[in-house]
A and B are shown apart, each in its own frame.
With several copies, the nearest count.
Chain A
Amino acid sequence: MKFGIVTFPGSNCDYDSYHAVADVLGLPAVYLWHKSTDLEGVDVVVLPGGFSYGDYLRAGAIARFSPIMKEVAAHARAGGPVLGICNGFQIACEAGLLPGALLRNEKLQFVSDRVYMRVENADTMFTSRCETGDVLRIPVAHGDGRFTADEETLDRLEGEGRVIFRYVNADGVPDATSNPNGAMRDIAGIISAEGNVLGLMPHPERAMEELVGSADGRRIFESLLARVSA
């Protein structure tokens, strides 16, 4: 299974995603340049974290017009997996691959921390190696992570099992301090209706090795591996 990691001007977690896939998991990976229109036959597209176009105007707003995004959208329409992490989640929302928007953190500060997120639905290609209710410890680092959508959209997401990760405390329940950004309904990650585009604010690619604090992020990559190669 081959991963393609998109580099937008201002992406800065492309390198970390590449490391996670290629060095830690030993899988084939390529960087995809934003001006390119060729996905080079990759199976999974990663929209990495960072500050594409400086996040000027709104996070992800300008990146969504990059030439590569047409191909990414086509790949998604054809059922190909797309993993949007942090800025990648923001880009996916701006591009209409996922519903909702990510707004300025409620406390108005950038938040860099390690949070807990609970797996809300283990029956997806991104979470098959988890159990529903599992709590993963994953770093966050963002200024605009407050997931926002209208009530109807939120209800639909919940009803269809598309809220995949929710911020919780170490014991697996939401509390006053477990949500780092004020996201509605403590939403940390959601999936598309077809189940092939996942967007999340926490950084699983930064949680691949105990040495740097956590290896819980592997479960997401390994789930993909299990499903896609099956």
Chain B
Amino acid sequence: MSRFRVAVHIVPRKGILDPQGKAVSDALHSLGFDGVTDTRIGRHIVLHIAAPDAKAADAQVREMCGKLLANPVTEDFEIATVEAA
């Protein structure tokens, strides 16, 4: 078993209203950041796990996303990084 640090992004699914992202976009505009056209806000989850290898770590985290970390009805997830820790 080795130790891995896995980072996951959970994001609102395309087409789903993201009121938080909208509020932040608007706030950035009013702060003068006019170039902002779109903001989406999701979660950045960093897990430390034990697994035989990186591939297994990835698979394990995918399963966690399916079961717990992401809401299957409204969110998509992506494994951003898997690194030895």
Direct contact of A and B (CB under 8 A): yes
Q: Using CB atoms, name the residue of chain A closest to B67.
A: A65
Q: Roughly how many angstroms separate A91 CA and B40 CA in the complex, as a whole number?
A: 23
Query: Within 8 Å of chain B (Cβ to Cβ): is A30?
Result: no
A149 contacts across to B, CB distance below 8 A:
73
What's the minimum C-beta distance from B63 to chain A, rounded to whole angstroms?
A: 14
Does B71 contact A61, Cβ atoms closer than 8 Å? yes
What's the minimum C-beta distance from A111 to chain B, rounded to whole angstroms?
A: 13
- Supposing A65-B30, A65-B31 touch, asked if A94 and B71 sit within 8 A by C-beta, the answer is yes
Interface string of B52-64 (1 = CB under 8 A from A): 0000000000000
A108 contacts across to B, CB distance below 8 A:
19-20, 23
Does A106 contact B27, Cβ atoms closer than 8 Å? no
Q: Roughly how many angstroms separate A100 CA and B16 CA in the complex, as a whole number?
A: 12
Interface string of A80-98 (1 = CB under 8 A from B): 0000000000000110000
Interface string of A44-88 (1 = CB under 8 A from B): 000000000110111001100100000000000000000000000
Chain B residues touching A, range: 10 to 19
Query: Within 8 Å of chain B (Cβ to Cβ): is A101?
Result: yes
Q: Roughly how many angstroms separate A105 CA and B73 CA in the complex, as a whole number?
A: 17
Question: How many residues belonging to A are interface residues under a CB distance threshold of 8 Å?
Answer: 23
Does B71 contact A101, Cβ atoms closer than 8 Å? yes
B24 contacts across to A, CB distance below 8 A:
56-57, 62
Does B23 contact A148, Cβ atoms closer than 8 Å? no
A101 contacts across to B, CB distance below 8 A:
71, 73-74
A103 contacts across to B, CB distance below 8 A:
16-17, 74
B30 contacts across to A, CB distance below 8 A:
65
- Supposing A65-B31, A148-B16, A182-B17 touch, asked if A54 and B74 sit within 8 A by C-beta, the answer is no
Q: Using CB atoms, name the residue of chain A closest to B23.
A: A56
Query: Within 8 Å of chain B (Cβ to Cβ): is A19?
Result: no
Q: Roughly how many angstroms separate A102 CA and B71 CA in the complex, as a whole number?
A: 10
B68 contacts across to A, CB distance below 8 A:
57, 61-62, 65
Does A104 contact B20, Cβ atoms closer than 8 Å? yes
B47 contacts across to A, CB distance below 8 A:
none
Q: Roughly how many angstroms separate A173 CA and B24 CA in the complex, as a whole number?
A: 32
Q: Roughly how many angstroms separate A56 CA and B26 CA in the complex, as a whole number?
A: 11
Q: List 22 A-B contacts (CB under 8 A).
A: A53-B23, A54-B23, A56-B20, A56-B23, A57-B24, A57-B69, A58-B71, A61-B68, A61-B71, A62-B23, A62-B27, A65-B68, A94-B71, A101-B71, A103-B16, A104-B20, A106-B19, A107-B19, A108-B23, A148-B16, A149-B73, A182-B19
Taking Cβ atoms with an 8 Å cutoff, the residues of A that contact B are 53-54, 56-58, 61-62, 65, 93-94, 99-101, 103-108, 146, 148-149, 182
